[in-house]
Structure 1
């Protein structure tokens, strides 16, 4: 799997859910319920690290002829010579006499693998930067935009609340003025009615 796929998988893949414990019988009346254990972070082992698997595949000894050759000569000796140092010295001696393999060629083979690792590291760093720009930085910008939108909405809400208070005050003033007008009209109506009734009585007396 390419590094880019592994990087995206590492970012977007959900953490595996811990296996649920089997149900236990409820404790008796006198028993105290135990506290739930605190979550413990368990680092991923090398055998489960897909990046390591990718790097190991890229730097397998079989990819370098000199290293593949020394391994081919050393493998049959594993059942005869248990000591690793002695086994590889014997393998090198045989490889030198039969295939012209040298110590420098073997060490150069390891240097070639280290160069492969360096190239992989450069590729990985570039791809993580690309993912950071497209995934992380983009989301940071998105969060910033959302926060700005929230602030704008909060300002709009505050403005609307202020408008509501102003209209409420105007409503109270209008209600008070309307009530005053009603009271004035009622007083004027009673006054004028009384005046007309009084004049009616006067005319009734005058006209006999």
Structure 2
């Protein structure tokens, strides 16, 4: 359904994996050292000297772990950026975004696909006999549901978008219940900043 993660960013994944391996190796070693000893004492060693803590090994281990986490975050961002691109998702629906072009949104499409697949597979395994019947099979109903969705959804989404843009949304904005609403209200009403959709030539910085 989607491309392999390594094929989306193969040049980055090899670099990031080296950070992960280095951090893992450092975490497998004990940062507690014996006096005047340059090497780490492995966790399998019977020598445990609690108060002999060297700042450098601990700092290096923490820094390598930080670099590994940052690298993983960048790799995830790069992969999800590709997953929301309609060119790579083989016709799968994109996440809802602020604009009409779903490829502008960086969402967790890959995770959503995996979760949906897991739900469908579990349902099919629990209802093996019903899956043989066309009237009760969930997999055989997917095609009919997709055809119906292609007809109805574009009109409903556009209608809802127009209502929101005109300030006449059917469902009120629930951000009013959040503690950060005063800041949101200041940005939207006082400064007049509009929702970013990627459809206007005006950049966000020009609105201030």
Could you say whether these structures have the same fold, taking a TM-score greater than 0.5 normalized by the shorter chain as the test? Answer: no
Q: Tell me which structure has the larger Cα radius of gyration.
A: 1
Q: Please, what TM-score do these two structures have when normalized by structure 2?
A: 0.19
- Give the number of the structure whose residues are more often helix, by fraction: 1
Tell me: higher relative CO, structure 1 or 2? Use CA pairs within 8 A at least 6 residues apart.
Answer: 1
